[in-house]
Structure 1
Amino acid sequence: MNKCMNCQHINEENASFCEECGTPLNPEVQPLNQEEPSDTNTSTENTFNTNEPHYSKPLTKKNKILILTGCLLVILFAATFSFGKNYYSKENQIDRFIAALSTEKVKPIQNAVSSAEPNFKITEDNIVPYVEYLKSHKKYISTVANELKTSNQSADIIVEKKGSYFLFFDKYEFNLVPLYVDITTNQDDAVIKMNSEVIIEKAEADTNMEIGPLVPGEYEFEGAATINKKPVSIKQTKDLSLYNEDLDNLVSLDIQVVGLHLSTNVNSGEVYIDGEKIGDIDKASEFNIDELAYNDGMRLQIKYPVGDEVLTTEEVLLAHYFDYSDDSINIRNLDFDILTSDEAESFMNDFYLSMSYEMRYSEETQSFDKVSFSEFFKDGTSSAMYQDFADYVKTYKAKDSLYQTVSFDTIDSLVMTAENTYEISYSVDYTTNYSDYEKDTVYQTLHYSKVTLFQDEDGDLKLVNDGGADNVSVEDY
């Protein structure tokens, strides 16, 4: 059976049109002699003829622009996303960080690094040691680059994901690992400096003082104090990087204080340590100081002004004389290569023995050994002093009425007046016996206050002059 959808009439199975109203039972079959519907029937027929073909209206210019704009935005977004994904990749962020370190300039590096510690803000001032460290350690940057590309950290830097760029791309921070040092000193009120800047105005002795946080780098620490009214300081340089296998966070600015005791063979002069005068030799030929800031490299020297010249001892290393039992330094007999009193006394004793010999045998011979006697004088027989003594001996030999002995007593003083030239004062005893027994024996002591001696290059002593009659006095005893 074939039911008409228009009038509901039941038609034969094979019918193509409704027997009642003539409506086509098969949609593909068109009604015979059917006319084009009028405009007034269009909406009705459209309602029921759902299979009639549909034709779209042409796009307006505005719609075309909107569609084109949308397509461009989609393409732009896709391109921007692709660019951002590459630009903000972890590898490229690491590359840009390494490039900033390679500039070795403060501002780019300050902007590239950060710190995970809230109380540690990277500034243009505190980043300077790190920048200087990069300049002096050329392999540091390549080492950091290799480590960051294979892991999330190096010894001094930790890579941490912190937020995002434009909601889509991960943002990474490069955090410097902060370092701390413990500073100690044995001097109360010491001034502590770091890289020439005061960080502690008055330190407390034997107390740990923590300094930090600090960026990795090389730091010079200095402790300054006053010892025996003299300013002294001690410095220590630290390589504060976790790459440093010998990293030690303890900075000891102890100033070692010792006592110094010195003796020499001059009773005046100046004491120098490392070229700086620290005091004077006293009249007892000694120098003593209870507090001296000490280090193992110190060298000591004595200077002895003589006229327009200055004599010096050898420089000695104080460490060779250090006594660890009481933290003292004892230097005995740091002497000048000069004439000693014993040497002067021996020479003068020989001189007067020779003189006595010439006088003692006057009865046997009237001869006088000029050559032998003249050897005691710098200018030999031309010396005025030689002439005076020779005349005295000759005069004595010419007299038969007396017998005289001469005995050298002692050196009273010895002073160097120029290099190899000395001024001595001494005493000599004269005993005179007369052949006339009614005359009493005369005992006299002659005091010479300004006799000049010269020591030649062979070390032999010679008499130069006796200072004249004004410098000779006679005393009976």
Structure 2
Amino acid sequence: MSGRRFCPNCGTKLESNVEFCPNCGFKLAKKEHASPSRQAYQQTVKKQGSSKGRQAYHAQPMKKKTKVLLTLGVAFLAVFTIFYAWGSNHYSKENQINRIKSDLIDTKTGLAKDVVADDSAMQVTDAALKPTQTYFAEHHKAANELINYLKEDASFNRIHLVQSGHHMLIFPRYVLRVPTIYATVATNHSNSSITVNGKYIGQVKPGNFASEKQDNKYGVKLRHLFVGTYHIKVKSNISNRNLSTTSNYDLWSSGTVDMGIRTENFTVKSTPGAILYLNDKNVGTLNKKGQLMFKDYPVTDKLKIYVKAKVGSNTIKSQELNYGDVQYDDANDSHKTIEPKWDGLIAKEDAQEILEDNFKDPDEDAFLNGAENKSYQELRKMDKGYDEDDDIDSYDMSCSVISVSPAPNKSSNVVYKITFTFEVGDTERKQVLLYKGASFRSSDSDDEDNESQKIKSIGTGKIVSDKRY
């Protein structure tokens, strides 16, 4: 059976050694005889290969649920990528520091969300941090220095930047670590009460409060405080007279605040009609002579003094000074004369010297905008006219400044008289002109001599006297 062969074309039984079918003539290929087991294996492999080919060709479509999940996964990844990029920028260290600065200098904004205390026992609230905000709101230069230090991972007056938790569980959250202090207010009268930032603290008690002033034997300890600016008021009844004193203190370390009440006499001199402020409180208007006197007024060395004046449509403010920085009058060690300074205000003698020199011989360097200044051109024309007048044999002039008052933008308003003396033949003629509306402006130079002041305008002159001798 194993040697039988059949024609693959017509099925005729063949002998084992023939090359062509005797029935149909089909050429028979010479094959390698395979065992039944091998044939079965080949047939199985063939069927499997054919089956696999059909399966690959007829792949099953993706299920709808799988497709939805895949789409959602891709969308989530895209949204998360955008969110992370936004968060990395919005919650970057530098941007968080900049937002902290905005809150720090705006007393209308709460600061508690940006702060942790250096003492865990301290309760962090917007109200408790208001003095810290007040200080930096009034000292923008210090606020800028603080921010620069924080960006360099350094501290400023013991204020640090620290990480505290995360924003949205991902991005580091940065806050200020603000120091806390303990303070005591001491005074020299037993029946005194203390108020801090408008809040009543209580009556003073006797004790040793480490005060620099021996008379301050009464005091009260303040609660735990954040560093910053505190408005402290002491009220006392002395000889059946109610007195009080207030001061602003920048508290950056624990210690004693001396608030002894003493009464003194002093006079404030400045521009007539200016309003006087003591510790930011309007206490009166200077009279026509530019004076306001006080007798037995309660003072402290920290009593802040300044004036405000109306100039045209502008209100200008003088420089601030503390009562303790003013010396007593030479002739009276129980009285002080206080004269707040104005930015850019020219001294009377300096104004007089500059005007007199330039009426005699105008110098373009003494004028604002130099040779382009109209007053400079006016004086040059006037001076030339006198020199070329054949009727005038010789002439001279002198200047007398009547008043100097402050003006906006580091300027000064000046009222003065110019007296001309003309020699005309045997006659001497004296002509006096009153100039109003003259103005000087201080230059940016730190030099305080005359060259730091420039003539903006010589004003308008009017003849008030004209006599011949």
TM-score between the two structures when normalised by the length of structure 1: 0.42
Structure with greater Cα Rg? 1
